[in-house]
Structure 1
Amino acid sequence: MSPTTTPTLPKGYVLHAGYPPISSYRHLRSASGLTPRSVAQAAPVPSNSWYGCYIMHDDNKPVAMGRIIGDGGWYFHIADMATLPEHQRKGLGDVVLKELLAYIARHAPCDEKEGEYPYITLFADGPGRRLYEKNGFKETAPRSTGMVLSYDRGLVVTPEDEGRAAAEDGRE
């Protein structure tokens, strides 16, 4: 995997390593068309992500972001790629994605002789497909297909399941 360089940002924009404040993270997600998340869902983002970055504008507000979740060894998933609509079509998403990929290239274990490469995945919504394809991502179907479990609080949990979970959590 060759290192990726981060392109130059337009005037008035600055790239930062890390994560925007929770309120800005939530606003970026919802305003850019991603599914809104609660404060409780957003709070663990900074401490449970492998790396993230965001772009600030002159008005001192985050306008674009992305992050990597993964184990730091071989599995890396790009998540939360978002740019506010009024700042789209300026290459900000490309800058964020290239920064995330460059970080993986610099920090992930990789041994080309042994064929050891990072495994980098993402889910592409319609508007992001062109950006991801431009940066080398390809659909995996029919070899593999992304799947999701729609969690429903109505799932049946048996007493045996609860006992097993309690034992695993040390509650017994």
Structure 2
Amino acid sequence: MTVAAQLSLEVPGSGEYRALRVAAGLSAMSEEGAALGLPASWCSVCVRDQGELIGMGRVVGDGGLFLWVVDIAVTPARQGQGWGRRIMQVLMDEIRARAPARTMVGLIADGSAHQLYEKFGFRLVAPGAQGMLMRV
């Protein structure tokens, strides 16, 4: 009997987090950054198949004024199966249940991912505003 992959509210381990980001085509993160940042997650979701991390997503921020949806990633072999949507649904349920009214929730959508995020109420901000990033 095959056990279906399970989604749970949990913070991934540093090594598996870093490996999944790279496997899913996201940028690599440092071991030091992951060790500091992961425990500070406001909310974190993992999808595991027989213990192996196959998907994840996190919300980071101050918890009251600003939140950012980050690290939405699914291993390539499991993409296209609805896991990204399920991860987002759990994160959005947590945001709606726990964040104060008028909290600003943002994200940066790679490629065509904005089509998924629009289903959860996110809107493109250009040309009225432009997103900016800097890596140190």
Shared fold by TM > 0.5?
Answer: yes
Give runs of aligned pairs for residues 1-172 of structure 1, distance below 5 A: 12-57=4-49, 59-110=50-101, 117-151=102-136
Amino acid at match of 1:129: H
- Give me the whole-angstrom Cα distance separating, in 1, the residues matched to 2:42 and 2:124: 24
Q: Which runs of 5+ in 1 are unaligned?
A: 1-10, 111-116, 152-172
- Give me the whole-angstrom Cα distance separating, in 2, the residues matched to 1:150 and 1:74: 23
Q: Which runs of 5+ in 2 are unaligned?
A: none
Q: Which runs of 4+ in 1 moved over 3 A?
A: none
TM-score (norm 1): 0.74
CA pair 100-40 structure 1, distance change in 2 beyond 3 A: same
Superposed CA offset, 1:46-79 (max 9, x none):
322111111111x320100010111111211001
**Counterpart secondary structure, 2:28:** coil
Q: Which of these two proteins has the greater Rg computed from alpha carbons? A: 1
Identity over aligned pairs, percent: 34
How many residues of Structure 1 are paired with residues of Structure 2 in the alignment?
Answer: 134
RMSD over aligned Cα atoms: 1.3
**Counterpart secondary structure, 2:7:** strand
Q: Which has the higher strand share?
A: 2
The question of whether the paired residues in 2 share the 8 Å contact of 1:63 and 1:84 is answered with yes
TM-score (norm 2): 0.92
